[in-house]
Amino acid sequence: MESLWEQTSGHESFPPLDRDIKTDVLIIGGGMAGVLCARLLHEAGIPYVLAEEKRLGGGITKNTTAKITFQHGLMYDKLIRTFGVERAEQYLRANQAALEKFRALCRDIPCGFAEKSAFVYSLDDRRKIERELTALEKLGYPAEFTDRLPLPFPVAGAIRFPGQAQFHPLQFLTGVSKGLRVYEHTPVRELIGTVAVTDQGRIQAERIIVATHFPFLNKHGWYFLKLYQHRSYVIALKNAPDVDGMYVDEAQKGMSFRNHDGLLLVGGGDHRTGKKGGAWSELREFARRHYPQAQEAFHWATQDCMSLDGVPYIGPYSSRTSRLYVATGFNKWGMTSSMAAAMILRDCIQGNENSFAPVFSPSRTVLRPQLAVNGLETLANFLTPTGKRCPHLGCALKWNPYEHTWDCPCHGSRFAQDGARIDNPATGDLKK
């Protein structure tokens, strides 16, 4: 099951590490966030190395829907209520700056970059839309209301964000990684202080950025309680309409739409990893009802790390780790969040103040309702009797009938039928 992006993109290879080396900064993880960290450090003249377990973009990045936007659902009303206007403005400005940096980089990288309006809609609650518009007005952003969308169902209301963008993520990754100091097929097996142990050599660094989607170090930061993972599904349809924009339902289990190269990408079927959901069958039934002339060209699934409060964790890994940094919990908005992370972490490494950083602090309060949900989920799966247990922290694995995998409801690790690890935070395969 390869995504549209995998099947329409080449790949520039990098060698594996074959000796001991030293560097100022080690970046662990070669997805969008890790590669952008490397690019910005490269531009700043800071010595770095990026170590990727498999190949660049081979994890979650290859399965994104690749929307570059600071329209993140009904986010800004929630941010103001949770953090206040100042922090909400930091979040907005960080993602606006991320979009502008993408725009600048994509001028020199052929990756299908196209400006589009982004819309968030509600099927049945106009008041939610109006509250979000009020929040955006407080933040000085002139979003627009509409209740007419080129989608095959009525909406109670929607907000339009003009001047957003979409692209081909793997074509971009290939272009932006040219000239970077990257080692592929170089899994980090252990960290001893700031020395990373790999299969063929050690990397001695002054500082380390962990950009591995879900952080793999359990003894710092409590990420196993602060994060859970969420799966969602995509089908790409031929002979379907051009909706001329990017659309997302404000409801977590709603649907999303965008076009690419004559195809309509329809996303949805969401569920917490290890739980049940609509998956591709929900999307295919929708397509049969609303686009009966369409044919499915591609289908794939993705997985997102969800934070306790909807804001990523970007900055020092924990309050006790002065030379260790993290970027995680992008909550389905991995493109602009990856770029915001790269800008913030570059400034951290340089010792410069970043005005966006406070809202993303990994050390902010964990006292959110989602913490109790995560804790109860973990406890329930610890107590579930089963022969299949996740090597990460011992939770009971659940069979995923849609994708024929063993999935962990606690933290989102996934394994193939033969026990081979697919997704972290587990660092190894299932025991035979």
Pairing of strands 67-68, 157-166: antiparallel
Pair 175, 206 in one domain: yes
Q: What is the DSSP letter of 36?
A: H
Strand partners, 188: 198
Structural domain range at position 20: 4-64+171-225+309-360
315 with 413, same domain: the answer is no
Adjacency order of strands within the sheet including 405-407: 398-400, 405-407, 414-415, 421-423
Domain boundary among 360, 382, 402: 360
**184, 189, 377, 378 from 309: Cα distances, Å:** 33, 31, 17, 18
The closest of 242, 231, 321 to 273, measured between CA atoms, is 231
For residue 219, the model assigns a pLDDT of 81
Q: What is the count of structural domains for the chain? A: 2
Q: Which amino acid is at 385?
A: P
CATH number at 381 reads: 2.102.10.10
Task: Kindly state whether residue 410 falls inside one of the protein's structural domains.
Answer: yes
Q: Does residue 332 sit within a domain?
A: yes
Q: Quick one: 341 and 318 in the same domain?
A: yes
Residue-level pLDDT, tens digit, the chain, 432 residues: 789 999 998 878 999 999 999 999 999 999 999 999 999 999 999 999 999 999 999 999 999 999 999 999 999 999 999 999 999 999 999 999 999 999 999 999 999 999 999 999 999 999 999 999 999 999 999 999 999 999 999 999 999 999 999 999 999 999 999 999 999 999 999 999 999 999 999 999 999 999 999 998 888 889 989 999 999 999 999 999 999 999 999 998 899 999 999 999 999 999 999 888 899 999 999 999 999 999 999 999 999 999 999 999 999 999 888 899 999 999 999 999 999 999 999 999 999 999 999 999 999 999 999 999 888 887 877 777 777 888 888 888 888 888 889 998 888 899 988 888 888 888 888 876
Count of beta carbons in the 10 Å neighbourhood of residue 31? 24
Q: Give the side-chain half-sphere CA count within 13 A for 3.
A: 26
Q: Is residue 21 part of a domain?
A: yes
Gap between the Cα atoms of 132 and 120, Å rounded: 10
387/350 same-domain check: no
Same domain, 316 and 219: yes
Q: What does DSSP say about strands 324-328 and 202-210: parallel, antiparallel, or unpaired?
A: parallel
Q: Compute the half-sphere exposure of residue 360: CA atoms within 13 Å on the CB side of its CA.
A: 32
* Assigned domain for 125 exists: no
| Domain-located, residue 76 | no
- What pLDDT does 432 receive? 64
CATH number at residue 53: 3.50.50.60
The answer to whether residue 138 is domain-embedded is no
| Cα–Cα separations (whole angstroms), residue 189 to 22, 51, 293, 422 | 17, 11, 50, 16
In a domain, 244, yes or no: no
Same domain? For 378 and 329 the reply is: no
pLDDT score, position 383? 76
264 domain-assigned: no
